[in-house]
Amino acid sequence: MGTGLRTLVVATATVPEAFYEDWKHTYYRASTSLQNRQRNLDEAAELIERVCNKFHAVVQSVTRSK
């Protein structure tokens, strides 16, 4: 592994409450599924990412990798 920079960004986004209430059940079902868990989690993540397309960076940190 070579040297480089690692970046951590913490961001916020506004999610409509009604959408979030539905999505949290989708995410829970995905996280507890016994089959295709990773695929289900990826799909749940894509769903919320489509709604939260405008993020506001709160914190950004860069460190050098050795």
- Per residue in 8-66, pLDDT tens? 888 888 889 999 999 999 999 999 999 999 999 999 999 988 888 778 888 888 887 76
Per-residue tokens: 63: 């460190």
Ramachandran sector of residue 38 (left: φ over 0; alpha: ψ -120 to 50; beta: rest): alpha
Q: Say if residue 2's pLDDT is above 80.
A: no
Which range of residues forms the domain containing residue 34?
A: 4-65
Per-residue tokens: 5: 């920079």
Phi then psi dihedrals of residue 10, to 5 deg: -110, 130
* pLDDT score recorded for residue 19: 93
- Whole-structure pTM over 0.95, yes or no? no
* pLDDT score recorded for residue 53: 77
Overall number of domains in the chain: 1
